[in-house]
Amino acid sequence: MADFKVLISQEEIETRIKEIANQIDQDYQGKKVTLICILKGAFIFLTDLVRNINKNDIIIEFMAVSSYGNEKRSSGKIKIIKDVDRDLTDEHIIIVEDIVDTGLTIDFLIKYFNNKGVASVKTCSLLDKAVCRKIDVPVDYSGFTIEDRFVIGYGLDLAQEYRNLPYVAEIKED
């Protein structure tokens, strides 16, 4: 059992998600948009986010990528485990991530979808470890900026565990 403490409470997450959802409603008024949930980490964020978006012309897709294995640091090699199974040509898309750390995953995904001929790509992440960037990437909708610390809960894991915590917790490094 890892030692951890709550960093961002359930209430804080709920409030921030409502704000992001309102922003997406405003920004995509009259436009269809596809939200791409990056599995596994973003699954809880995505479900809470879409339930707070009022417009109904949103499409939800799932994609699974891996860069960490069971480590706490990104390997930098992004592997597509499951691709989106629909043609996204000319669609407006928002990539929904749990956390942007080095930026390598989101950078890979932005390029990947641009190559597929989408109309526009925006990025949305619950958490942003801005100080850990190895590559400059845009985070268009960002929930919370956090320091360089390993976090778990609300979808985020440590070796696949702790995803079900209803808050974000800081884990003590070994």
Please report, as ranges, the residues that interact with ligand IMP according to CB under 6 A. Answer: 41, 67-68, 74, 97-105, 150-151, 156
Indicate which residue of 48, 98, 101, 128 is catalytic: 101
Region for residue 135 given its phi and psi (left: phi exceeds 0; alpha: psi -120 to 50; beta: otherwise): beta
Smallest distance, ligand IMP to C-beta of residue 74, A: 4
Here the tokens at position 82 are: 């499951």
Is 136 part of the annotated catalytic residue set?
no
CA-based nearest residue to 41, from 100, 87, 120, 90: 100
Do the beta carbons of residue 42 and residue 98 sit within 8 Å?
yes
Smallest distance, ligand IMP to C-beta of residue 42, A: 7
List, in sequence order, the alpha helices (H) in the chain.
10-27, 43-51, 104-115
Smallest distance, ligand IMP to C-beta of residue 104, A: 4
Here the tokens at position 87 are: 């043609």
- Residue 121 CA to residue 171 CA, distance in Å, equals 32
CA-based nearest residue to 140, from 89, 168, 101, 100: 100
CA-based nearest residue to 127, from 104, 152, 162, 158: 152
Smallest distance, ligand IMP to C-beta of residue 108, A: 8
Closer to ligand IMP by Cβ: residue 88 or 106: 106
Q: Which residues are catalytic?
A: 101
